[in-house]
Every structure is written in C-alpha cells, then in structure tokens.
A and B are shown apart, each in its own frame.
Chain A
C-alpha cells in the first residue's frame, strides 16, 4: 500500500506523530527527541490556527473595551467608570496578541525538537483579568448607585 510510506503518521500525542519522518528510515536523527526536524504539517497548521484564534480573542477584547468607553452612557456619579472598565480590556487585547505570538514560537520550537508543548499562560491571564474587570464593574455600579 503506497500510503504506508507517504502518509504522515496519525496523531498519537506529543511523541509519536510530531514529525513527518518516514518511519525512521534513512535518518536516525528524526526519531531522536531533541533533534531538530521539520514538524508534521498538521501540527504546524494547528499551532497557526491557535495563534489566529487568540488574535481574534484579542480583537474582541479591544472592541469590547472601546464599546464600553464610547457606547455606554456614563455611570451617574462615577465619571471615570467607563475608562476604568474599558481601557484595561484594550490593554489586555494587546497583551494577548503579543503573548500569543511568543507562545506560537515556543510551541513551534517544541514541535521541531519533538519536546512536550509548554503550558500556555494565556487562559489564566485572560480568566484572571476578566474576573478582575467584572469585580471592578460591580464596584463601579455600587458606587454609582450609592452616590
């Protein structure tokens, strides 16, 4: 069967299918963890899609922050409330975009050296910041209601 030699290996985790080596034939370095090889195109493309998804998330954060500042009516008694809530979301968007690029590079290096993928810090950063902004929004609303 021709595909026995030509098809990339199926995904079997961080080790088995991480490169498009041909069953270890010819170059023994291909199966050596740590040796630099060309990753399987599927993993490269998946890494690229993850990067793009984070960037779309970043754009959503930017437009959400801009919407809070420019589209919401002011909170009575809290004139700075909209900026306090909106600007951190915009800054978070820029941070997510920059970090997503760094993580894409780290993942690509890990794939090339057949190492385990490093853990991403973006989910924690995103959850913590959005949680903090939600708490801040509750405080702004309370202050606005009291005044």
Chain B
C-alpha cells in the first residue's frame, strides 16, 4: 500500500469521535480507565457508609461524592480537552480532601466508644 494515501491518515482537525475506535483505544485502555473510575466511586460510597454511621450529615456529604465520581467517570474516557480533564481530576482531589476534613471533625467531635462493650454490646 502506498505510504502517502491521503484517505488513510487522520487529519489533525478530524473529530476524534469519528476516528477508528482501535486507533483511539488500543488494548482497551479506556475500558480499564472507566473501571478505575467505578472503583473510585465505590470507594467513596464505602467511606460514606462508614462516616454516616457516626455522623449522618457528614456521611451524606461523603456519600454524595459517589454518584458525582461515577458520573464524571462516564464522561472521563471520552476525548476531552486537557483543561477539562484537569478540572475533573481536581474535583476528585478536592472531594478526597473534603472527606478527610469531615473525617477529622468526626474523629474529634464524634462519640468514641469508651470500652469494648460499647462496640460489641453483650445481650442478656
């Protein structure tokens, strides 16, 4: 095949969505990235479930991060401009830091068990 076939090359201004999927997604890298976003959303849900047992408001704030992260992951694997990717990942970072701040508040202000009996109460 001639090396200079103009139909065979992607012009720089061509919409990435119109390209051959294998060209944009060798090795299913996008699928792995989509799964990584899903795992991160599940991690937020798990942390929120722990926090909500100690402080309902703080826990619900953390839990709200799970669908946010999941929704961002749905759009993350599409070809976007770099500054959009940066903003998206910054949201994840801020969410984790906010979770850490809320966890610190719960750690200092929440009711800590004074003994093992308060964690595993004996019945009868």
Contacts and interface: CB of A to CB of B under 8 A. Distances in A.
B100 A62 contact: yes
Interface residues of B, number: 57
Contacts of A8: 23, 26
A56 B40 contact: yes
Majority-rule SS of A interface residues: helix
Interface string A25-58: 1000000000000000110111011011101101
A114 to B, nearest CB: 16
B39 A56 contact: yes
Nearest to A67: B50
Majority-rule SS of B interface residues: helix
A122 to B, nearest CB: 13
Interface in A44-84: 44-46, 48-49, 51-53, 55-56, 58-60, 62-63, 65-67, 69-74, 82-83
A147 B26 CA distance: 62
Given A74-B114, A98-B93, A55 B40 contact: yes
Nearest to A1: B1
Contact of A48 (B54, B89, B101): B89
Interface string A1-13: 1111111100000
Interface residues of A, number: 51
B56 interface: no
Contacts of A73: 113-116, 118-119
A97 B86 contact: no
Given A42-B27, A63-B50, A48 B76 contact: yes
13 contacts: A2-B8, A6-B8, A22-B9, A59-B44, A63-B50, A63-B103, A66-B51, A69-B112, A70-B107, A82-B112, A97-B92, A101-B93, A105-B86
Given A41-B25, A45-B29, A73-B118, 10 more contacts: A5-B5, A5-B9, A45-B30, A51-B92, A59-B46, A69-B112, A72-B113, A74-B112, A101-B90, A104-B89
